[in-house]
Structure 1
Amino acid sequence: MMGWYGGGMGAGGWVLMGLFWIALIALIIWLVVRLLPSTSRGGSTPTQGAQDSPLEILDRRLARGEIDLETYQVHRAALIAARGGAR
């Protein structure tokens, strides 16, 4: 028979092709989940962040180590001055 090469794909080829497609689909799903923003990751929900005062947010940032003590004190003084000395 002319134009025919070999006996087609064997069982091993079908298994490898199936594993390739499963891995490709899993990779696409992982990338979509990883790249889309999620409220479950990252700590606070948007409604929780809206209820916190600026001083509470500043306190939390210091506790997490995001800012040092000097930065904390400068920002805290600025927030208290902007409020007119409240708290």
Structure 2
Amino acid sequence: MHDFQFFGGGWMMFFWWFLIIALVIILIRAFMNTSQNKQRKETPMDILKRRYAEGEIDEEEFNKRKKELLK
């Protein structure tokens, strides 16, 4: 016969499963945050430079907007 009083019985088994699931969730969230931080956000200046490089705006427009951003 099993007594289930060893290490707290059924409640302790519930606690260990809860702990394992919580740790898995924490590890997944930590991994997701790390991968999101690796993706660098574009600054307005980066966007302006990209648009100029792709030919969306000309040099005059680029310099005008650059001047505005640097104020």
Interval containing the TM-score (normalised by the shorter chain): 0.5 to 0.7
Displacement after TM superposition at 1:56 (Å): 2.3
Question: Structure 2 length normalisation: TM-score?
Answer: 0.52
- Cα RMSD of the aligned pairs, angstroms, is 3.1
Aligned length: 59
Question: Structure 1 length normalisation: TM-score?
Answer: 0.46
Query: Unaligned stretches of 5+ in structure 1?
Result: 69-87
Percent of paired sites with the same residue: 19
Q: Which residue of 2 aligns with 1:17?
A: 20
Q: After the TM superposition, which parts of structure 1 deviate over 4 Å for at least 4 consecutive aligned residues? A: none
Query: Unaligned stretches of 5+ in structure 2?
Result: 1-5
**Structure with higher RCO (Cα < 8 A, 6+ apart):** 2
Correspondent of 2:31 among 7, 28, 41: 28
Aligned partners of 1:45, 1:10: CA distance in 2, in Å? 58
Correspondent of 1:53 among 37, 42, 58: 58
Displacement after TM superposition at 1:33 (Å): 1.8
